Amino acid sequence: MSRSRESLFDRWFLAIFLIAILLFGGSARVDSVGLVIVRTLAIVAIAIALPYWVEERGRDRLQRCRPLLLLLAATAGWMLIQIIPLPAGLWSALPGHGELASRMTAAGVEIGWRPLALSPGRAIHSLLDLLVPLAVVLLVGRTSDQDLRQLPLRLLAFLGVAAVLGVLQLLGGEGAPYFHRITNTGAAVGFFANRNHHAVLLALYWPLLLWYVHGRADRAGSHAATLLGVLGGVAMMLAIMATGSRAGLAIGGVSFLVTSILLYRMRSAAVGTESAAKIVRLTLIASIAGTLAGAAAMLLFGAGFMDRLDQSDVVADLRFAILPTLNAMIWHYAPFGGGFGSFEAAYKIVEPVNLLSLQYLNHAHNDYLELLIDGGFPALLLLVGWGVIVWRAAKRGWQHEQSAPTDRIGILVSLMMLAIFAAASLVDYPLRTPALAAMATLATVLVYRRPDIPSARRKGQKTSAGFR
């Protein structure tokens, strides 16, 4: 493949792959048809990316991505251990399994050889879920920094389409287009099955806007992009309000304000001239005021908007009501956990009678607690390992001797995206959807990649690139 064709392939394949995952990977259910599509796409992407890594030019980047690949390998290893069949005596001696073994014996059910995971099929699904993050690591790792700068515009365009689709779903009634069989019917969910996940995706608009604006090489184009991007951000904030997701409103609002402050502080570097900077400043102030006014109008006059917020009260109350049960489950299965993907089965065993209702709980709505219940203390170590990787990478990139001030925008963008996912995971399970897992992996790879800074560029020399 020629160099020009290879560059064109890299530039478009990564974007097409991510958009395809966002299209079909919006459900966390194991019976979703979209899972078959996204896993097939991930296998194809891995097969396409692997030859690059065995070539000489890919070995240096392989060294840089090694901690992430090792982390994925360790996660896969722990999942594999959880699905290895164990003899009945050893299985019964595992924490949390003895009581279940006694009930099975009393019911006349033979224990036989069983894996640690209470739901082996779901554990296998969890293992297969790693295909998408692995594909993203391999694809982003082989993509040049110049080609990466083309990515945010394509993602921003997709977010715009998703926002419009969400509004159409809200206005369309029974005939509204939905991508998933089991979904929040009547709500704005976009390409997702859950409105909270749709709101989290839309909240990524602002860090992606920062990445795009500071990745442009031309000042005039950067000026126009900043103005249009800020105005688009107002529409995106209103689209998040339309979802009726309280968590999405909070996360999106903070993301919007943080990005506005950053753009305001860096307006001169972003647009080049003082007059252009003044226009951007006025646009930012007007955008914030317009968003606040729109929010106030929806709160005061939008009865449907308030109804959608009130509908989430039941789920929110349940999240707090089950916290003692979730805490007990963590220690019941500690230190090894009940098996990845086994939360639903484990919760049914201990579900309090006073919390029984027509609603069923398939996730803990707090991914940190569910991670401990499913994966035990080894999963906690893996999470801490990921945090250490991100922290060290961000610190090293920030203090790199050849990093220019605007290069650090890339680090801020990645950390903002990861912060959005971290906050959303406190009250929901966004990263259990392949779509948002792919975006979180993208942010992790970008913050971890050491800057490919030309040796001719001295420390402090400015560049418009977000990632160099």
Contact 72, 385 (CB under 8 A): no
Give the domain extent around 189.
Answer: 3-320+356-448
* Secondary structure of 278-316 in HEC code, one letter for each residue: HHHHHHHHHHHHHHHHHHHHHHHHCHHHHHHHHHCHHHH
Pick the closest to residue 38 from 443, 431, 340, 435 (CA basis).
435
Task: Give CA 112 to chain center in angstroms.
Answer: 39
User: Do you find a cis peptide bond into 335, omega within 30 degrees of 0?
Assistant: yes
* Rg (alpha carbons) of the chain, rounded to whole number: 23
Residue 103 resides in a domain: yes
Structure tokens at 114: 């069983």
d(CA 162, CA 156): 10
pLDDT tens track for 129-147 = 999 999 999 999 888 777 7
Contact 256, 291 (CB under 8 A): yes
Pick the closest to residue 341 from 120, 127, 122 (CA basis).
122
Contact 138, 50 (CB under 8 A): yes
Residue 438 resides in a domain: yes
Confidence (pLDDT) at 53:
80
Residue 86, strand partner residues:
114
Residue-by-residue pLDDT tens, the chain, 468 positions: 555 555 666 678 899 999 999 999 999 899 899 999 999 999 999 999 888 887 766 677 777 788 899 999 999 999 999 999 999 999 999 999 988 898 888 888 888 899 999 999 999 999 999 999 999 999 998 887 777 888 999 999 999 999 999 999 988 877 788 888 888 888 899 999 999 999 999 999 999 988 888 766 555 455 666 777 777 888 898 899 888 888 888 898 888 888 877 777 765 555 455 555 565 566 666 666 666 665 565 555 454 554 555 555 556 667 788 999 999 999 999 999 999 999 999 999 998 888 887 777 888 889 999 999 999 999 999 999 999 999 988 888 787 655 555 567 788 899 999 999 999 999 999 999 999 999 999 999 988 765 444 444 434 444 433 443
Residue 328 resides in a domain: no
Q: 């400043």: which residue's tokens? A: 281
Structure tokens at 299: 């709160």
d(CA 465, CA 453): 11
Residue 189 resides in a domain: yes
Q: 303 burial class (0-12, 13-18, 19+ CB within 10 angstroms)?
A: exposed
* Number of structural domains found in the chain: 1
Residue 374 resides in a domain: yes
Residue 70 resides in a domain: yes
Contact 129, 141 (CB under 8 A): no
pLDDT tens track for 388-442 = 999 988 888 787 655 555 567 788 899 999 999 999 999 999 999 999 999 999 9
SS3 state of residue 114: strand
Residue 350 resides in a domain: no
Angle between helices 219-243 and 303-311 (to 10 degrees): 70
Q: How far is the CA of 381 from the CAs of 150, 185, 378, 384, in angstroms?
A: 35, 38, 5, 5
Task: Give CA 281 to chain center in angstroms.
Answer: 30
Confidence (pLDDT) at 458:
39
Residue 114, strand partner residues:
86
d(CA 231, CA 290): 10
Pick the closest to residue 244 from 293, 307, 295 (CA basis).
307
Residue 121 resides in a domain: yes
